[in-house]
Amino acid sequence: MTLNARLLTGLLAITCAGLTIMGLVSAFVLRGYLMHRVDEQLQGTRDRAVSRLLRPGLPEQGVAPARFVVLAVAPSGRAHVLSGEDPHAVTEVEKLGADKLAEHASTLAPFSLPGLRAVARPWRNGIVVVASPLDEIHSAVRNLILSEIATAALLLAVLIVLGRWLIGRGLLPLSRMAVTAHAITTGGDLRARMPDPGHRTEAARLAAAINVMLERIEQAFWARSRSESRVREFAADASHELRTPLTTIQGYAELYRHGALGPDELPDAMRRIEGEAGRMNNLVTALLDLARLDREASLHPTPTDLVSLARDAIADATAAAPDRPLHLDAPDTLITNVDEPRIRQVLANLLANVQAHTPPGTPATIRLAPGIIEVTDEGPGMAPQDAARAFERFHRADQKTAPGAGLGLPIAAAIAAAHGGRAELLSEPSRGTTVRITFAQTPPEAGRS
């Protein structure tokens, strides 16, 4: 059964039970009330009948109502009609017997006979019995029950129609949710949302909760799709970067095998092979670093003086490019709990980027503050589309002339994320570039080893 049918069936069952109980109680109360009235009338009639018998000179009219029967029962048990006519009453009283009548007469309490209500009282050597048929009481109770049955049937019919409409209207939001859920499961449209019932009801709260769940599922699917796409792009870019040195090495090897390299050309060929092998080694090392950082299992934080690391990085960069002015904006010491080799790698990568992407002699500045490392150059800056993709792996603004594999900034960003921070790039054409690394001064050690 559907929820609508179950609710309607339950409503009808409860209503039927309530109407039945109310009908039985009302019939019982009405019968008791009518029987009490008859008992009072019987007792009054009995007393008047006895008074008439004791004073025979009084007229007999008005002794009992027309529906009452007054009987005088002899000790032998034979009944004599004093007032009224009802053969059934005479027969039932005689069947009861003199002994039973004597017991009822001694108590003066009303008693019942088949189809009759009666009272008895001793009189001289006999017993006076006043009886009344119960046809009117039975008829009144029967009419009440029939009217209640008819009213209940009409009420149930109205309840079926009205209840179906009300329950259907109340369950309409659930029906719409079911339709939407079916559309999502069959069509796979994760952008579909549950309709808002427009009222602060249980259905509205359920719709809101399901919409939040769908939003999270959509975001999870989108993130998974994006992750798979990035993995495919990463694999393609890595393959492309590795193909060039491998092709060079393979080409020189084939030339050597065919004897196409003369004695004068062999040293240059070996130099090229060694250079391409070193390039592949650097690329694979960078990829391994990224993989370790993605697993968050490569940090060993220790108290480290960032100022000392920055001075060492400036000294190394100055040795490689003496014509490039490098400045340090930092306090005398700045002790922070970080992984020293990784922070050295960040500074080296950022300064290498400055050297690779700015003209010779372009000044650069390293600024240090608690939880912040900034490297700013006064070079030509970057276009907005390149700045937006600066931290993507293997992305290079100039694919033809820019050296390296495009992994310097992604590694710096991964190191910052492993320290509980992030990397930002601020750049505009002709206004230079700033790379800011922020991290927690005491990075979390959970998951680190």
Q: What is the pLDDT of residues 168-179, one digit of tens each?
A: 887 888 888 888
**Looking at the predicted structure, is the pLDDT value of residue 63 above 70?**
no
Average pLDDT (26-33) is 92
In this structure, are residues 83 and 66 in contact, taking their beta carbons and an 8 Å threshold? no
In this structure, are residues 239 and 403 in contact, taking their beta carbons and an 8 Å threshold? no
Average pLDDT (385-402) is 67
What pLDDT is attached to residue 126?
Answer: 86
Fold of the CATH domain 299-438: Heat Shock Protein 90 (3.30.565)
In CATH, the architecture of 190-294 is Orthogonal Bundle (1.10)
Domain extent listing, the chain: 3-142, 190-294, 299-438
DSSP 368: E
What pLDDT is attached to residue 298?
Answer: 62
In this structure, are residues 417 and 409 in contact, taking their beta carbons and an 8 Å threshold? no
In this structure, are residues 179 and 206 in contact, taking their beta carbons and an 8 Å threshold? no
In this structure, are residues 433 and 427 in contact, taking their beta carbons and an 8 Å threshold? yes
In this structure, are residues 334 and 368 in contact, taking their beta carbons and an 8 Å threshold? yes
CATH of span 3-142: 3.30.450
What pLDDT is attached to residue 397?
Answer: 60
What is the overall mean pLDDT for the chain? 82
Average pLDDT (101-117) is 90
- Enumerate residues 6+ apart whose C-beta is below 8 A from 78: 94
Average pLDDT (309-329) is 91
**Looking at the predicted structure, is the pLDDT value of residue 295 above 70?**
no
Equal fold, 3-142 vs 299-438: no
| Share of residues in the chain with pLDDT > 90 (%) | 24
What pLDDT is attached to residue 293?
Answer: 65
Average pLDDT (356-365) is 89
How remote is the C-alpha of 91 from its chain's centroid? Answer: 78
Higher pLDDT, 289 or 316: 316
What pLDDT is attached to residue 61?
Answer: 46
How remote is the C-alpha of 392 from its chain's centroid? Answer: 37
Place 447 in a pLDDT band, splitting at 50, 70 and 90: very low
The pair of structure tokens assigned to 235 is 């694999």
Rg (CA), the chain: 54
pLDDT tens digits along 151-162: 999 999 999 999
The pair of structure tokens assigned to 358 is 């700015």
pLDDT tens digits along 208-226: 888 888 888 888 888 888 7
Q: Give the integer Cα–Cα distance in Å for 141 and 33.
A: 11
Beta carbons within 10 angstroms of residue 58's beta carbon? 13
- Taken in order 28, 31, 37, 39, the sign of the CA dihedral is negative
Q: Give the integer Cα–Cα distance in Å for 111 and 4.
A: 53
Q: What CA–CA distances, in Å, run from 308 to 314, 331, 437?
A: 10, 11, 17
Lowest mean pLDDT among 39-43, 170-174, 374-378: 170-174
Higher pLDDT, 260 or 147: 147
What pLDDT is attached to residue 241?
Answer: 66
What pLDDT is attached to residue 146?
Answer: 93
In this structure, are residues 248 and 272 in contact, taking their beta carbons and an 8 Å threshold? yes
CA torsion, ordered 214, 217, 222, 223, to nearest 10 deg = 140
Average pLDDT (421-438) is 89
DSSP string over 80-141: EEEES--HHHHHHHHHH-HHHHHHHHHHT--EEETTEEEEEEEETTEEEEEEEE-HHHHHHH
DSSP string over 280-320: HHHHHHHHHHHHHHHTT-----EEEEHHHHHHHHHHHHHHH
**Looking at the predicted structure, is the pLDDT value of residue 306 above 80?**
yes
pLDDT tens digits along 183-203: 888 877 777 788 776 667 777
pTM of structure: 0.46
Lowest mean pLDDT among 133-147, 157-171, 226-240, 393-407: 393-407
What pLDDT is attached to residue 86?
Answer: 82
| Share of residues in the chain with pLDDT > 70 (%) | 86
- Enumerate residues 6+ apart whose C-beta is below 8 A from 309: 340, 343, 344, 347
